[in-house]
Amino acid sequence: MKRLGIWVPISPTPVLLFCRNVVAHRSLLLAVFSVLCVSAAEPIVGTWHLDKQEVNGEKIEATLPMTMKVSEAGAKLDFSFSVLVKDVNTVNMTYEVKLDGTEADVKDAQGQKLGTIEMASSGRAEYKLLLKRSNRLDTAGKLTVSPDGKTLISEADTLHAGKTIHTIQQFSRQ
């Protein structure tokens, strides 16, 4: 082994043990880091297909298949809603939001502002939101991902003419 320009005789056994320990520790660190990275992702991240919906307990048939795609964008989540029109997925609404309740713009497919949304994580797999749109009533709701991560339930309440309109949508992970 060469130290400061001088060759120093050294047994290969301690060097091999050191290298083996470094490799073992690096493997352990990589495994721990991988687990932390995977678990750091929000449970809602993914592509979701609308399976069914109801308003005030009555089942409503969707006229067009809807998909919600949620992806991480740095410290924010990027939501994109699209419908299938003539075999083409057409995005009709997007927003990029922090999960700390900060207000974010909701935009249509042309980038025009439709309103705002505030969203905050209220548990490991639950998100509370407040959607405000011009010329429409505010909607408060929550999104909940099932423990197995395969189902997402969206519940929302809108107060209209003194009555609460309760909407439930069920999505499945694609």
Provide the token pair at 113. 């502002």
> In the chain, where are the structural domains located?
2-39, 42-173
Instruction: Give the model's pLDDT for residue 40.
Output: 55
- pTM, entire model: 0.73
Calculate ∠ Cα 69-71-77, nearest 5°: 110
From first to last of the 174 residues of the chain, give the pLDDT tens digit.
Answer: 444 444 444 444 444 333 344 334 443 333 333 333 334 589 999 999 999 999 999 999 877 889 999 999 999 999 999 998 888 888 999 999 999 999 999 999 999 999 999 999 998 899 999 999 888 889 999 999 999 999 999 999 998 888 999 999 999 999
Q: Which fold has domain 42-173?
A: Lipocalin (2.40.128)
Quick check: helix, strand or coil at residue 36? helix
Distance CA 76, CA 120 (A): 11
The tokens 């405000």 sit on which residue? 132
Is residue 98 exposed (0-12), middle (13-18) or buried (19+ Cβ within 10 Å)? middle
Distance CA 30, CA 64 (A): 44
**158 near 164, Cβ under 8 Å?**
yes
